[in-house]
Amino acid sequence: MAGDKKVFGFEEVARHNVTKDCWLVIAGKVYDVTSFMDEHPGGDEVLLAVTGKDATSDFEDIGHSDSAREMMEKYHIGEIDASTIPAKRTFVPPQQGSHVQAKDNDILIKILQFLVPIFILGLAFGIRHYSKSE
């Protein structure tokens, strides 16, 4: 039975990433879970979130039951060609410049909100003081 399973390239599997056509890669196997989307206890969003990547660690982290693992077999449609899986991308944090600049702008605005009324108040007192002196 395993001999008639197809070998899929990663790009082909990744294209099946919507509710009405959803494939997953788990432990080197390709699963067409389209008909399972409505039945999945975590909802279809959980399955859609792991399309287009190797979902093995996501699947294992949840701690699926033995019956869930057995159920998977009916959705198994083939194997993934391991040579087509892209190398893991290193996480690159977003540049901090814009965030720091926004924080600086917030501080400047708060300082001005404090200083401008004090300046106006001081100006008003100064004008009043000089106008009484004359």
94-129: pLDDT as tens digits: 555 545 556 677 888 888 888 888 989 888 888 888
DSSP 54: B
Cβ atoms of 35 and 77 within 8 Å: the answer is no
Q: What is the pTM of this model?
A: 0.62
Identify the CATH homologous superfamily for domain 2-84.
Cytochrome b5-like heme/steroid binding domain (3.10.120.10)
Q: Which residues pair with residue 32 across a beta bridge? A: 23
Q: Please state the domain extents for the chain.
A: 2-84, 95-134
Instruction: Report helix, strand or coil for 67.
Output: helix
Instruction: Report helix, strand or coil for 60.
Output: helix
Cβ atoms of 51 and 22 within 8 Å: the answer is yes
Q: What are the backbone angles phi and psi of residue 18, rounded to the nearest 5°? A: -130, 165
